[in-house]
Amino acid sequence: MIRFFVSPHDISTTSIRLNSDDAGHIRALRLRPDELFFVCDGNGTDYLCRLGERTDNSVAEIVSKHQSLGEPSIACTIYIAYAKGERLDYAVQKSVELGATKIVLFESDRCVATPRDTMKKTMRLQRIAMETAKQCNRGIIPNVVSGGRFESIINIAVKSTALTLLFYESEHDLSIKSILEQYFPPLREHEGYNTLSISLITGPEGGFEKAEVELAQSKDIKIVSLGTRILRSETAPVAALAAVMYHTDNL
């Protein structure tokens, strides 16, 4: 079913005001007055709506509302190193599909390419996140932001979430499976796991420098393996997030 996002300020008790772009989209889809669609407030509430009486399609009448079913029970922030070409597009799109709460881009020592205009880059990726959120029934639009250098983002990650994992191809002892089993027991064993949050940090095409890994370790960040195969920079965040969502019953 078609979905739109609006500001909570545009929602009243019985109706929702749509912006000109969404009204134009409705005209292009030729929705009939009896057809239903969803409008989301971006905070996790879905409103089942139909077209209002205005002929410009700018008002949606509320039929019912409920909590968004597309939101996971765990808050997961993905830290992705800048990459060249369309690799970031893919990583952002799939991270939103899988349920990431926030996506932070950063510069690492081995980054092959970093954007000259980070604001322009993040704005473009934010549009990708918005369109993806519409398509996959998310209840929020995950923020895509630039976090600066690696040294800055690890401090942010440690302070903002309960557990931070950095994925490193030279780590052979601690697997993502073992760390998730330690911190996120199955629901039947521990009812409170979904109150926790997690940060996942993945590296650039060339991987992390050893000094970066050591710095992360000094901040009590867990250095984790994604297996014996070397994953591409756009695959690693998607694989890590999928593992977290599966283990916490969100897939």
Query: Which of these three, 23, 50, 67, is where a domain ends?
Result: 67
pLDDT band per the 50, 70, 90 thresholds, residue 195? low
- Do 49 and 98 fall into the same domain? no
- Do 81 and 40 fall into the same domain? no
Q: What type of residue sits at position 123?
A: M
pTM of the model: 0.89
- Do 58 and 95 fall into the same domain? no
Render the chain in DSSP notation, one character per residue.
Answer: --EEE--GGGB-SSEEEPPHHHHHHHHHHT--TT-EEEEE-SSSEEEEEEE-S-TTS-EEEEEEEEE-TT--SSEEEEEEE--STTHHHHHHHHHHHHT-SEEEEEE-TT-S---S-HHHHHHHHHHHHHHHHHHTT-SS--EEEEEEEHHHHHHHHHHHSSEEEEE-TT--S-BHHHHHHHHS--TTT-TTGGG-EEEEEE--TT---HHHHHHHHHTTPEEEB--SSPPPTTTHHHHHHHHHHHHTT--
> Is pLDDT at 111 greater than 60 in this prediction?
yes
Query: Which of these three, 67, 93, 111, is where a domain ends?
Result: 67
Query: Which of these three, 25, 42, 67, is where a domain ends?
Result: 67
pLDDT at 193: 42
- Do 184 and 214 fall into the same domain? yes
- Do 24 and 88 fall into the same domain? no
% residues pLDDT > 70 (the chain): 95
What does the pLDDT look like over 127-141, one tens digit per residue? Answer: 999 999 999 999 999
pLDDT at 123: 95
- Do 92 and 45 fall into the same domain? no
CATH code of the domain containing 162: 3.40.1280.10
- Do 142 and 214 fall into the same domain? yes
pLDDT at 24: 86
Span 184-207, average pLDDT: 72
Residue 94 or 186, more confident: 94
Structure tokens given for 12? 């009243």
- Do 26 and 101 fall into the same domain? no
User: What's the domain range around 59?
Assistant: 3-67
Q: For the chain, what is the mean pLDDT?
A: 90
- Do 41 and 159 fall into the same domain? no
Separation CA 239–CA 142 (nearest Å): 18
> Is pLDDT at 151 greater than 60 in this prediction?
yes
Instruction: Please count the structural domains in the chain.
Output: 2
pLDDT at 54: 66
> Is pLDDT at 190 greater than 70 in this prediction?
no
- Do 83 and 63 fall into the same domain? no
Separation CA 105–CA 85 (nearest Å): 15
- Do 27 and 100 fall into the same domain? no
- Do 192 and 217 fall into the same domain? yes
What does the pLDDT look like over 69-83, one tens digit per residue? Answer: 889 989 999 999 999
CATH code of the domain containing 17: 2.40.240.20
% residues pLDDT > 90 (the chain): 72
Calculate the CA 224 to chain-centre distance.
21
**Of 177, 243, 236, nearest in space to 203 by CA:** 236
What does the pLDDT look like over 224-250, one tens digit per residue? Answer: 999 999 999 999 999 999 999 999 989
